[in-house]
Amino acid sequence: MSQSLGREDVMTKVREHLSAELEVDQAEISEATRFKDDLDADSLDLYELVMELEDSYGIKVSEEEASRIETVGDAVDFVAGRLRD
């Protein structure tokens, strides 16, 4: 995967995935959107998002790291940080 992907590219990918999986309008998904409280995402939804990010970007996310991701912005920051490493 190209290391030149920026934060906006990651945000777009996360927004598209969540919109499709949770049947939510992409316009309703911002960086401050909380997975559980705002999107009613359960642990399986979050697991599927982590798997999608791992596959799309060639990164690994531990259970501990995943448990700290509470908002869309957290997920985007995590992936963008891994792509810079």
Radius of gyration over every alpha carbon of the chain, rounded to an integer in angstroms: 12
Q: Are 75 and 14 in contact (CB under 8 A)?
A: yes
Coil, strand or helix: which one is 58?
coil
Active-site residue, 42 included: yes
Active-site pick, 9, 25, 40, 42: 42
Angle at CA 42, nearest 5°, toward 56 and 38? Answer: 90
Which residue numbers are catalytic? 42
